[in-house]
A and B are shown apart, each in its own frame.
Chain A
């Protein structure tokens, strides 16, 4: 059984080098056929906001990179329902299909992994 990883993303996009490092870490794990889940919490959920067009701000588009997670069999992309709600975001309008978890279920869900990585 491969080890189960969870990557927890809590920082918003366009926070410097963090974003690219985060994706590098996640994809590196997925490339080695590890069981990878990603959890977006707090401002991390802004990564999933649709219609991001950072080009005019001189920033690199990150959403398309995130969309490759599906390509590499990342098992589960989860978001916390409360984090969405606090930001008036709706799960069905995000750039990726996600599993919504209630805040109360987060501890058990995290505890089901063997390695947790906080990545921005």
Chain B
């Protein structure tokens, strides 16, 4: 069964995002939420790893949390998807397993 991975800490603060990407399997989804949304930024130290992982993973960013932090789309990696709360629910339905990385 595929896994929905949840990352809610900033990649500037913890290595949760990278640790998660290392263990996510093809077809899994990774949702960046709360402070995890900083992981969607381009041009940062971790950005190349996130961009590479987006080839085999569905990397999704929770838009309300992005907006809350004043990050606009132009600064994000292009291969990521933005979703709202209904998209979050849909992800949870599509992936029967979920794991939080903090």
Contact = CB atoms under 8 A, between A and B. Distances in A.
- A, B in one complex: yes
Interface of A: 8, 10, 41-42, 80, 103, 106-108, 110-111, 113-116, 118
B23 to A, nearest CB: 5
Given A108-B25, A116-B98, A116-B99, 9 more contacts: A8-B99, A41-B19, A42-B19, A103-B22, A106-B23, A106-B25, A110-B3, A110-B23, A113-B97
Interface in B43-102: 96-102
B25 A113 contact: no
A22 to B, nearest CB: 13
Interface of B: 1-3, 19, 22-26, 28, 96-102
A111 B99 contact: no
Task: Classify the secondary structure of A's interface with B.
Answer: mixed
| A-B pairs with lowest CB-CB distance, top 3 | A107-B25, A118-B100, A116-B97
Contacts of A116: 3, 97-99
Contacts of A108: 25
